[in-house]
Chain A
């Protein structure tokens, strides 16, 4: 289904429920994995996903169509993750330019984490990155988002995103092939 048709369904009170079901079908997996890589544990990701869809449902009437609906949904999910992380760390704002000192602790505490040789190497590198670097890499490499979409979601300049991604990608390739 094309985005225009989906929006028409969502904006019409009579077909809003049908449109919302389609939104859940199309994006719940994608949103879940983006959230999971930011908050790390499955239970937290589930909570954030539920909250994200509540905000999407409430906010859909005010969606002006200035971006793709998927970008708008990712942005809500991203902001919801930041809100969750700041609450979790008991800080007003998440520090995006430093690495997360609790990365490994959160990961290994999750019962749905099943490490193997490759994932251990990946996480060792990811844990050393700043929160912003990690998010940019994950969104491009795993979620396969475009650079301009990542820029719209995070509010970071597109050139910064490109340079960050290539830097991290090079680092990961080098360390994994060693």
Chain B
């Protein structure tokens, strides 16, 4: 390896290789306890398990039942093909106002 010094002028610190060997071994061999390795099958099984849990437990995946408020003038017009008359709207709004006043929290 003297070629590097003679022909390229590249030097290294004293005892470099001895010290760096210790560093490399400390870094790698002392960290083995933290290295977990899982096989492809273990990872696949874990993924399927998590997916199954999510699929069967999340409420947003269930089919939602839609409840329309048929008393609303617009909805009832669309669903029941009723005509909106002025009288109908006044009745509806009066009912709403009365119920809002009655049930409004203090």
Q: Which B residues touch A84, using CB under 8 A? A: none
* A54/B28 contact (C-beta < 8 A), A28-B20, A32-B17, A46-B20 known: yes
Query: What 1/0 mask marks residues of chain A from 8 to 28 whose CB sits below 8 Å from any chain B CB?
Result: 000000000100110011001
Q: Which B residues touch A118, using CB under 8 A? A: 6-7
Cα(A102)–Cα(B13), bound, Å: 24
B17, A20: Cβ atoms closer than 8 Å = no
B13, A53: Cβ atoms closer than 8 Å = no
How many A-B residue pairs lie within 8 Å, measured between CB atoms?
A: 75
B24, A114: Cβ atoms closer than 8 Å = no
A28, B24: Cβ atoms closer than 8 Å = yes
Closest Cβ neighbor of B22 among chain A residues: A24
* A42/B12 contact (C-beta < 8 A), A53-B28, A122-B7 known: yes
Q: Is B25 part of the binding interface, using a Cβ–Cβ cutoff of 8 Å?
A: yes
Q: How large is the interface on B (under 10, 10 to 19, 20 to 34, 35 or more residues)?
A: 20 to 34
B13, A112: Cβ atoms closer than 8 Å = yes
Q: Is B106 part of the binding interface, using a Cβ–Cβ cutoff of 8 Å?
A: no
Q: Is A63 part of the binding interface, using a Cβ–Cβ cutoff of 8 Å?
A: no
B24, A36: Cβ atoms closer than 8 Å = no
Q: How large is the interface on A (under 10, 10 to 19, 20 to 34, 35 or more residues)?
A: 20 to 34
Closest Cβ neighbor of B29 among chain A residues: A17
Q: Which B residues touch A58, using CB under 8 A? A: 35
For residue A27, give the distance in angstroms from its CB to the closest CB of chain B: 11
Q: Is A66 part of the binding interface, using a Cβ–Cβ cutoff of 8 Å?
A: no
* A29/B9 contact (C-beta < 8 A), A50-B23, A53-B24 known: no
Interface positions of B (Cβ within 8 A of A): 1, 3-13, 17, 20-21, 23-25, 27-29, 32, 35, 37
Further 19 A-B residue pairs, CB within 8 A, beyond A58-B35, A114-B5 = A17-B29, A20-B28, A20-B29, A24-B24, A28-B20, A33-B4, A42-B11, A53-B27, A53-B28, A113-B10, A113-B11, A114-B9, A114-B11, A115-B9, A116-B6, A118-B6, A120-B9, A122-B7, A122-B8
